Amino acid sequence: MKYPTGRKKRPIKQNRSNLGMTLESDLDVTNNYYLNNNIAVIHKKPTPIQVVNVNYPARNKAKITEAYYKTPSTTDYNGIYKGKYLDFDAKETSAKTSFPLRNIHEHQVEHLRMVKKHGGISFIIVHWKYHDKYFLLPTQIILKYWDNKKGRKSIPYSDFVSYGYEITFSYHPRLDYLKIIDKVYF
């Protein structure tokens, strides 16, 4: 597949362009692989929704007719790996040089902090779409920027390269982040 020269600036996801996958579905596939191969039990939490109205057009079939998305009070993913509690959030960014902290809710940062404090493994996975790279970034690096109220409101890409861990995209499993957990935490 060839694109006109005008599109050359953005790296073309050669092998993935026809899959139409997002970070969320790549992680779902990865977590299913971990589950089916008895490696870890990690699930994405459902999106929190505030239900306002429900109809019952048919027996046993509730139809929600009014509802709203709520701000999540925790991260999206958690589970157990080698007996350890593991907790993370996944984010995508189109940014080039730094990851804006407004992409993470305050509740989520505080949750990651608490998990770390209680002896769990907590981090974020960020897909840098411009660079087409995936990084696992430990909570301590997020907190370094988050807790510095006078400092910048974003984490530089160079910090992901220096203090984060790149996750290589492959097929089976798609985003093998537990390989990094093995190296860093065990």
Residues 6+ apart with CB under 8 A from 163: 137, 138, 141
Query: 86 forms bridges with which residues in the sheet?
Result: 79, 121
- For 20, the token pair is 């139409």
Q: Which amino acid is at 52?
A: V
How many residues bind to a copy of itself according to rule CB under 8 A? Answer: 39
| Among residues 5, 46, 150, 162, the one that binds a copy of itself under rule CB under 8 A | 46
Stretch of 16-24, 64-72, 131-139, 160-168 lying at the interface with a copy of itself (CB under 8 A):
64-72
Between residues 18 and 50, which has the closer beta carbon with respect to a copy of itself?
Answer: 50
| Among residues 40, 109, 136, 180, the one that binds a copy of itself under rule CB under 8 A | 40
Between residues 13 and 45, which has the closer beta carbon with respect to a copy of itself?
Answer: 45
Between residues 112 and 155, which has the closer beta carbon with respect to a copy of itself?
Answer: 112
- For position 16 contacting a copy of itself by CB under 8 A, the verdict is no
Q: Which amino acid is at 63?
A: K
DSSP per position, 12-58: P-TTTTTT---HHHHHHHHHHHHHHTTSEEEEEPPPPEEEEEEEEEE
| Among residues 1, 5, 7, 68, the one that binds a copy of itself under rule CB under 8 A | 68
Stretch of 7-15, 67-75, 150-158, 177-185 lying at the interface with a copy of itself (CB under 8 A):
67-75
Distance CA 65, CA 87 (A): 33
- For position 87 contacting a copy of itself by CB under 8 A, the verdict is yes
